[in-house]
Structure 1
């Protein structure tokens, strides 16, 4: 999915979006594919959750609350994997694929079809270092331009 010209202009003019801002995205190669994408909030640290394992990285969990709605006429699938965090030093933190257990609820789906008129919303957990905070939450489905939301300082 690529952002229509209006959404691209907002990003280019204003830099990263504020949390809560909604962006329209479409795909010129798939008729009827139109969505809105929104990053609603970011929490660091997430309380009442076991620390990430060494293999996951980070020493605490953070969570982003995100929403993707189908405003078109074609079904599409959503996943946590297009979402990642970026830091001032160039570090990127991807989702681990961990779900269930004590992960923040409700969880954003890992692989779900969104029918026209419906939305998928939930939290995505990231194993992050407690010593620093990310600058951006980025939505970047394969083959598209990234959409960035600024993460406020703690």
Structure 2
């Protein structure tokens, strides 16, 4: 609450108080005005959209560095078709470089934070099982330890509806005791 004090001198400020017309000096009058600020509603910050090929810095509870979605490809070539009819593979090529790692036990990289999102709200996560023999490109490491100063790069495949491109590639980390949730999105064109 903000308080503002107004001091008034003479009759000009005291008219409402019934100033007499005698011309006698009046004592200073003090009025207190209270102004209450309107409450504000906290809104969730929308993630910034980044162009594919653009690097983005990260600073999470265990590490700092940069991450980049280098390419998006759909259809993504595979030696075998997806199991589901009406689907095809899409892939993202990513690179993460770790400047610092603060966790004593180190950290491991994986596919889990990465997903594809569609304008209708559909989110496609990476497959839980795969065979590297299906793809002729190097896949992004999964459950692989990394050290400070190291960069890792590779492709993550996704099984997606045939002919329907996602709107974004998302990197999402949930909130923890020491870190707020983080989401970064790259626009698919």
TM-score (ref. length: structure 1): 0.79
Answering whether residue 40 of structure 2 is matched by residue 40 of structure 1, we say no
Q: Does the 8 A contact of 2:170 with 2:184 survive in 1? A: yes
- List alignment gaps of at least 5 residues for structure 2: 1-44, 176-180
Distance, in Å, in 1 between the alignment partners of 2:120 and 2:65 is 31
Determine helix, strand or coil for the equivalent of 1:37. Answer: strand
Quote the residue 1:103 is aligned against: 135
Quote the residue 2:16 is aligned against: none
Quote the residue 1:4 is aligned against: none
Distance, in Å, in 2 between the alignment partners of 1:96 and 1:117 is 28
Quote the residue 1:79 is aligned against: 110
Distance, in Å, in 1 between the alignment partners of 2:117 and 2:86 is 14
Quote the residue 1:147 is aligned against: 184
Report 1 or 2 for greater relative contact order, CA contacts < 8 Å, sequence distance ≥ 6. 1
- One of 51, 56, 64 as aligned partner of 1:18: 51
Determine helix, strand or coil for the equivalent of 1:38. Answer: strand
Q: Does the 8 A contact of 1:83 with 1:138 survive in 2? A: yes
Paired residues, number: 136
Distance, in Å, in 1 between the alignment partners of 2:136 and 2:116 is 17
Runs of 4+ in structure 1 over 4 Å off: none
Determine helix, strand or coil for the equivalent of 2:58. Answer: strand
Cα displacement string for residues 53-78 of structure 1 (whole angstroms, at most 9, x for unaligned residues) = 13xx8611011000111111444211
Q: Does the 8 A contact of 2:76 with 2:90 survive in 1? A: yes
Q: Which has the larger share of strand?
A: 2
Distance, in Å, in 1 between the alignment partners of 2:86 and 2:158 is 8
- List alignment gaps of at least 5 residues for structure 1: 1-8
Determine helix, strand or coil for the equivalent of 2:182. Answer: coil
Computing the radius of gyration from Cα coordinates, the structure with the larger value is: 2
Q: Does the 8 A contact of 1:58 with 1:127 survive in 2? A: no
